[in-house]
Amino acid sequence: MAKRIFDLIFTIPGVLALLPIFFAISIWVKLDSHGPVFFRQIRVGQFGREFRIYKFRTMIVDAERYGKQITVGQDKRITRSGQFLRKYKLDELPQLFNVVLGDMSLVGPRPEVPRYIAEYPEDIRRITLSVKPGITDLASITFKDENEILGNSDCPEQTYIREILPIKQGFYVRYVGSRSVWLDTEIIVRTLFAIIWPNKEQTRKQKVSS
């Protein structure tokens, strides 16, 4: 209950304050390429319940017909506006509506498509899906440049499943075991720093690991 209150206290005023930005981005996306403003996709939420996640559309219409469910490097399916929106994570803003609807939380394990949830070991899947998925988490900060990492792989999807996903799962399990309002606040602040001042976040991680 406390986490839900925390989410709504920050999300509802945030949505109202961001309405002009939502409007401006919507016009840009619509003018930049053919198709809807929003991208909707089935993801797996708490207790395995599926829901539709909302994002600003950053790729061409029916992009999944022309490639994988992950984006890799300079993916040709990404639109011009999409390049900018992805760089600054602005495409994720509509997920605030998912938070208001109760499908997601501000902070929590990132929701995966059913295909990749099937790759989770049973115990890790049970722990990860015991909480609501989030817009951001420590794994999102660590793999902020995931597209570039996968772009350097000969087999991006296998690299994601065999190398990146297990690391993310470790973050998810640790978060579930230690989650608190204070940890959520820290992750939100670190996420903003990683977006606005990416070099400072990278320096901070290097200091921690040294």
The pLDDT tens digits for 151-163 are 788 888 899 999 9
Domain span at residue 8?
A: 2-209
Residue 43's pLDDT is 97
- Distance separating alpha carbons of residues 72 and 39, to the nearest angstrom: 18
pTM as predicted: 0.87
pLDDT of residue 9: 94
Instruction: Report the range of poorest mean pLDDT among 18-27, 39-48, 53-62, 170-179.
Output: 53-62
Kindly state the DSSP code that residue 203 receives in the 8-state scheme.
H
pLDDT at 95: 98
Say if residue 202's pLDDT is above 90. no
**How many domains is the chain built from?**
1
Return the CA Rg of the chain: 17
Per residue in 52-83, pLDDT (tens digit) is: 999 999 998 877 776 666 676 677 889 999 99
Whether 209 shows a pLDDT value over 50: the answer reads no
- State the alpha helices, DSSP H only, in the chain: 2-32, 80-87, 95-101, 114-117, 122-128, 138-142, 146-151, 156-159, 165-178, 181-196, 198-209
